[in-house]
Structure 1
Amino acid sequence: MTAASAIDRVLVIKLGALGDFLLALGPMQAIRRDHPSARLTLLTRAPYLDLAQASGLFDEIWIDSAPKLNPLAWLALRRKLRGGRFRRVYDLQTSDRSAGYFRLLGGAGGPEWCGKVPGCSHRHVYDAPSPLHTVERQREQLAIAGIDDVPLSDLGFLDAPIADRLPARPFVLLIPGASPGRPAKRWPADRFGDLAARLDAQGLGTAVAGTAGEGDLADAIQAAAPEALDLTGATSLPELAAFARAARLVIGNDTGPTHLAALAGAPTLALFSADSDPGRTGPRGPHTRALQRDDLADLDVEAVLAETGDWIARDPRLGDGAT
C-alpha cells in the first residue's frame, strides 16, 4: 500500500443520487483530510456539480459523460481518465459503471483502486445488496485503504440567509415528494395535508419543500392547510438546509431532501414503505427517526403525530428528548 503522503493525484467517483451523494460527503471529507496535499478530482454527474463545488473539497470536478454504445465517447473518456495520472481511485459509487472505469484505467495494472471490483488493490468484499447501512459500508471500504475515522457528512458549508422568508411562528418542514419513478415511496399528499391542518391547530405552521414539478403536492396540502408556505421550486440546496435548521422538525419521504435535512442537524422523521430499507439507506443525523409501513397508504396521521409528539412539544436540539 502506497503511503498517503506519496499519493499526489486522487480520483473520487460518486455519480449520485442526491441522498447517496450527501451521505458520501463524509467519506469525501475524510479522503481530503487524509490527502491534504494531493490534487483531488471528483467524477460525478451534472446535477451535483454545484453541491460538489460548494463543499470546497475538490481541486477539479469532472462531469461523467455516461457514454453508452458510442465507441468514440468511450475512447475520449479513457484518454481523459488516463490523462489524470491518478495514483489512487476511491470508488464510492461501486456500480457496474464505475467498474467499467476501473477497466478503462488499466484494471489491476492501473492506479490503486479502493472499491469492490475484483482485481483492485484495496478490495471491499461484501454481500450484494450489503446488509450494512451505506454509512457503515463506506467506513469499512475506506478502512481498507487506511482511512479509519470517517464521520457523518458535515453540511456546515450549506447555508443561506432566509430570515425574511420564514413563517411567523414555529413551523414543521414537510417534504411530500420522492422519485417520480418510485411512487410507492410517497405518503399520500392528502395525509400530509391532514397533518398540516392538525399541526396548525396545535399552533405550528408548516412549509412545503420540493421541486418545481411537485407544486401539485403543495396545492393538495394547502387545500387542507391554507397557511402552509409553498417552497416548491423556490429553494437552492443551501436554502433548503437553512430552512431545515430553522424548522422545529422535518417530516418527509425517503428522498434526497430528507437526507439533507437530517445531515443538516434538523430533527427528521423519514417515512418508508417496503420499497426501501431504512436500515440500509435511511437518513442519518443527530436527531433522526424512521417510520415504516409496507404500503404508505396504511400509515395514518395519528401514527406520525405519536412518533413526533415529543419533538413537537420540545425541540430535541435544546437537550431533552435528543436521539
Structure 2
Amino acid sequence: MGGAVERVLIIKLGALGDFVQALGPMAAIRRHHQSPLGAASVILLTTKPYVDLARATGLFDDVWVDEERPKPWQIGRVRRLREKLKSGHFTHVYDLQTSDRSSFYFHILGPFKRPLWSGIARGCSHRHTHPERDRMHTIERQIDQLAVAGITDVGMADLSFAQKDIYRFGIEKPYALLVPGGAPHRPAKRWPAKDFAELANRLFVKGITPVLLGARAEQGILTLIERDAPGTVNLCAKTDFIDIAVLARGAALAVGNDTGPMHMISLAGCPSIVLYSSDSDPALCAQRGPSVEIVRKTRLEDVSVAEVWDVVERTAALVP
C-alpha cells in the first residue's frame, strides 16, 4: 500500500486497552505514508471517549467521531455515514478495529473507486487472512495485518506525548497505583475489594502511598478500599487518560485487574502486576511494557494477598 498517498483513514473505535495498544501500529502507518514530498493527511475514526487522547498523540491531522454507528437496516444512518466516508476522498484505509461493524463500513462504500483497504472485510484489497489471527495477541495480529499492506516497522506504543501537571493531586513519592475496577458486566475480572485494601495497608506500612484509580462507576469499590485502608489516596473520577500515563511514570509499581487503565500504565513504563481470571486470556490481550507480571487463577477470589505481595517484592524490590 505504498506509493503516492494523499488521504489516509485509520479506524480504531475502542476499548481503551485496545486503543492504547494500537498506538504503535498507528505510528507505523503515519511513518509509512511520509515521503520527501510531504506526509499524507492521516485521519482517525474513533469513538467519543478517545478523541482527546487521540489528539494529544500528535499522530493525526484530524479526528472524526463515529456518531452514526448504523445498523444495516437503518438506511438514513447508513447513507449519512457513507457520505461522510466518501467526503474524505481516502486513498488508503487501515481498519484496526477489524470487527463486523468496521468491515460493514467497507461494504457501504460501494464497489466503485474504493480506497485500498487493510482489514478483514471480504473483497478488500489487503485482507488479513492469517488462519491463526483469532488466537494471536492483539499487537501481533495488527503487526501481521500491516505486513500484508507493506508496513513492517511496527513498534510498541510510545506514550512520551503524555505531559500534564499532576502536582494538583498532592501525591509524594514513593507511591503505587491500584486499579480495582473493571467492566461492570464482567465481575469475574475483579479481585475482591477487601484484598486490595489489605494490599494497600501492606504498601502503606512499607512507606509506599497507595493511590486508587477508577471511573465514577467504580466509586463504591474505591470507597470501600479507602475505608479499610485509610492511608490511601482516592482519585476516583479525578483523572483522565493523560493523567494516568503521567502518574504511571512516577509510580513505584501498579497492581490492577485486567482493565483498560492497566494497559496505559504498563506501556508508560511502570512495573505492573495484572490479575487475571479465566474470564480473559492474557495470551490474547495481556498488557505490554518493559515490566509486566501476570497473576492468573481460574477465580480471582482464589488469588491471595500473600501471592500478590510475593510478586510485588520480586517486581519492584520494595521489601528488603
Contact 1:90 1:115 in 2 (8 A): yes
Provide the rounded CA distance (Å) in 2 between the counterparts of 1:62 and 1:101: 14
CA distance in 2, matches of 1:210, 1:162: 16
Corresponding residue for 1:84? 88
Displacement of 1:109 in angstroms is 5.4
| RMSD after superposition | 1.6
CA distance, structure 1, for counterparts of residue 266 and residue 89 of structure 2: 37
> What residue in structure 1 maps to residue 25 of structure 2?
27
Residue of structure 2 in register with 1:15 after alignment: 13
Give the C-alpha shift of residue 312 in structure 1. 3.5
Bigger CA drift: 42-51 or 209-218? 209-218
Cα shift readout 1:241-272 (whole Å, capped 9, x = no counterpart): 11111110010111110000011111111111
1:227 aligns to what?
Answer: 231
* Alpha-carbon shift at residue 89 of structure 1 (Å): 0.6
TM-score by length of 2: 0.94
What pairs up with 1:1-323 in 2 under 5 angstroms? 2-4=1-3, 6-36=4-34, 37-64=39-66, 65-68=68-71, 69-107=73-111, 110-127=114-131, 130-313=134-317
Aligned letter for 2:16?
A: L
How far apart in 2 are the matches of 1:109 and 1:85?
10
Aligned to 2:150, what secondary structure does the other structure show?
coil
Question: Across the two proteins, how many residue pairs are aligned to each other?
Answer: 313
Q: Aligned partners of 1:129 and 1:211: how far apart in 2? A: 32
- One-letter amino acid of the structure 2 residue matched with residue 135 of structure 1: I
**SS of the residue aligned with 1:10?**
strand
Structure 2: gaps spanning 5 or more residues: none
Paired residues of 2:212 and 2:235 also in contact (CA < 8 A): yes
The CA distance in 2 between the partners of 1:16 and 1:107, in whole Å, is 28
Letter in 1 for 2:167: A
TM-score by length of 1: 0.93
SS at match of 2:118: strand
Whole-angstrom distance in 2 between the partners of 1:50 and 1:40: 16
Distance 2:23 2:111 in 1: 26
Amino acid at match of 1:132: M
CA distance in 2, matches of 1:157, 1:108: 39
Aligned equivalents of 1:25, 1:304: Cα separation in 2: 30
Question: Which runs of no fewer than 5 residues in structure 1 stay unpaired?
Answer: 316-323
**In the TM superposition, what is the alpha-carbon distance from 1:132 to its structure 2 partner?**
1.3
Shift of 1:107: 4.8
Q: Contact 2:2 / 2:150 at 8 angstroms: preserved in 1?
A: no
Say which is worse superposed, 100-109 or 195-204, in terms of deviation: 100-109
Where 1:210 maps in the other structure, the secondary structure is coil
Give, as a single letter, the amino acid of the residue that structure 2 aligns with 1:234: K
Moved more, 63-72 or 85-94: 63-72
**Change beyond 3 A, Cα 1:80–1:168:** closer
Alpha-carbon deviation of 1:223? Answer: 2.2
Q: How many angstroms does 1:166 deviate by?
A: 4.3
Structure 1 stretch displaced more, 263-272 or 193-202: 193-202
Deviation at 1:128, TM superposition (A): 6.8
Shift of 1:169: 4.4
Tell me how far 1:22 sits from its aligned partner. Answer: 0.4
Amino acid of the structure 2 residue aligned with 1:122: H
Aligned partner of residue 130 in structure 1, secondary structure: helix
